[in-house]
């Protein structure tokens, strides 16, 4: 999968990462849109190699949760993502 990542030069790069394996009560979203906010500025200014963005809209691509349907449109506002340290 492709992931946007801050790099030490202060740019955003698109890199390839392994597809995460979902655990119980998790879903995997195909991101349709993602925004950046003020909390993303500190890692960007410091050149930390992290994946920015925690305000996401996406479609459920795979799931391990009984009440969420495949192809459902979800909004994800804040949390810990599997690709945070890619």
Q: Which domains are assigned to the chain?
A: 2-76 (3.90.180.10)
- Report mean pLDDT in 10-residue bins for the chain, 86 residues: 84 88 91 85 79 85 90 77 45
Specify the pLDDT at position 71. 93
Please tell me the predicted confidence (pLDDT) of residue 24: 92
Which residues share a beta bridge with 73? 59
Contact 56, 33 (CB under 8 A): yes
Residues 27/74, Cβ–Cβ less than 8 Å: yes
């Amino acid at each position: 999968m492709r992931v946007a990542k801050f790099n030490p030069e202060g740019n955003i790069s698109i890199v390839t990462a392994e597809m995460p394996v979902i655990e119980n009560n998790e879903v995997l979203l195909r991101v349709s849109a993602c925004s950046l906010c003020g909390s993303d500025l500190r890692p960007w200014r410091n050149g930390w190699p992290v994946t920015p963005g925690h305000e996401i809209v996406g479609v459920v691509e795979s799931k391990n949760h009984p009440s969420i349907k495949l192809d459902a449109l979800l909004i994800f506002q804040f949390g810990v993502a599997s690709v945070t340290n890619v």
